[in-house]
Amino acid sequence: MQRLPGKARSRQEVLRECEAEVAKMRGYIPRVLWDFLIPDLSRAFRWRVQLDCGCTTEVLTREDGTPPHEAQWKDHRSPLPPGQMTCHHDDSPPPPYRVIAEWGDRREVTFPADPIEPSDDTDPRVWSVLRRDEPHTSAFWEVTLACGHVEEAIAPSLDWVPASGPRRAAPERVQQMSAEFEDAWRANPELQTERDREHTRRMLADGWPAPEPERLCYSCPRVRMILAYERVGWLVPRQRQSRKATSTTPTPSRSALERRLRKAESEAERLRAELDRIDQGPLRPD
């Protein structure tokens, strides 16, 4: 078994944290969903993992059969490719653009009309152009990027499907936009970062497609590879679990069972006698 540098955290401390988390979840998850959404801590197994950023951290899996580099971890709600986990670093690079490799599920979201007054940081003239005065609905598609991470893309219209391919602007319009962007970048070199300027250039060269064939990947900068792992143990020791199981469902002794049987037989006898009285009594039907 592999040993990683450093030591596992105190089990009691981790258990306390997990119990507090479960109590919090019970507060906002309806009771009927507890079995599905709230982890059973008595089945949780602890591991230490070493990541390629140099960090060593602790994780929990359900049961102890799947080592952490084979388990599927999540970035927010999106599943990550096996072997990857997130680790936050303040100096992570900004998200890169990645090509969309696959279109997945679709959902519609309805937005209310925008407020008439712009927010404090928006120019009223810009707001008068951007503002939507009616509620509107957009279609969001789940997309898997070339790096294997999952993001969302907005369709250009509700009836758009991936098989339709992107819509493109008229070539004259694209030419005009290219000239406008070049002017704007010259006038204000800070207008877009190098990354965004390159993205804009690619989109212009591609005829300004909608939806864009690439998205920013917010997972890439925070995702790390699991390099090594170490087994720590059950979050709730197995011994205590089985002791608890025997104390709640004790196996009755033979004499106790015989006592219960005799009691049940005499009760059955009493009920039979009562039934006989009813059958012979004045309230007997028909």
Near Zn ion by CB under 5 A: residue from 33, 55, 113, 191: 55
Q: Does 25 bind Zn ion (CB under 5 A)?
A: no
CB of 182 to Zn ion, least distance (A): 30
Q: Does 100 bind Zn ion (CB under 5 A)?
A: no
Q: Does 53 bind Zn ion (CB under 5 A)?
A: yes
| 179 burial type by CB count under 10 A (0-12 exposed, 13-18 middle, 19+ buried) | exposed
Q: Which is nearer to Zn ion, 200 or 219 (CB)?
A: 219
Candidates 152, 149, 153; CA nearest to 74 is 149
Q: Does 228 bind Zn ion (CB under 5 A)?
A: no
Q: Which is nearer to Zn ion, 126 or 146 (CB)?
A: 146
| 154-to-79, 122, 146 alpha-carbon distances in Å | 20, 23, 18
Q: Does 264 bind Zn ion (CB under 5 A)?
A: no
Q: Does 149 bind Zn ion (CB under 5 A)?
A: yes
Q: Does 59 bind Zn ion (CB under 5 A)?
A: no
Number of residues that bind Zn ion (CB under 5 A): 8
Rounded to 5 degrees, what angle do the CA atoms 152, 66, 223 make?
Answer: 35
Q: Is the Cβ–Cβ distance between 21 and 65 less than 8 Å?
A: no
Q: Does 220 bind Zn ion (CB under 5 A)?
A: yes
What six digits make up the tokens of 58?
């602790």
Candidates 18, 23, 62; CA nearest to 43 is 62
Q: Does 50 bind Zn ion (CB under 5 A)?
A: no
- Window contacting Zn ion (CB under 5 A); options: 11-19, 37-45, 113-121, 140-148: 140-148
Q: Does 217 bind Zn ion (CB under 5 A)?
A: yes
- Window contacting Zn ion (CB under 5 A); options: 32-40, 82-90, 128-136, 235-243: 82-90
Quick one: DSSP state of residue 263? H
Q: What is the DSSP string of 136-159?
A: EEEEEEEEEETTS-EEEEE-SSTT
49 forms bridges with which residues in the sheet?
57, 229
Quick one: DSSP state of residue 259? H
Near Zn ion by CB under 5 A: residue from 29, 147, 210, 228: 147
CB of 217 to Zn ion, least distance (A): 3
Q: Does 87 bind Zn ion (CB under 5 A)?
A: yes
Task: Kindly list the residues in this chain that would bind Zn ion in the complex (CB under 5 A).
Answer: 53, 55, 87, 147, 149, 217, 219-220
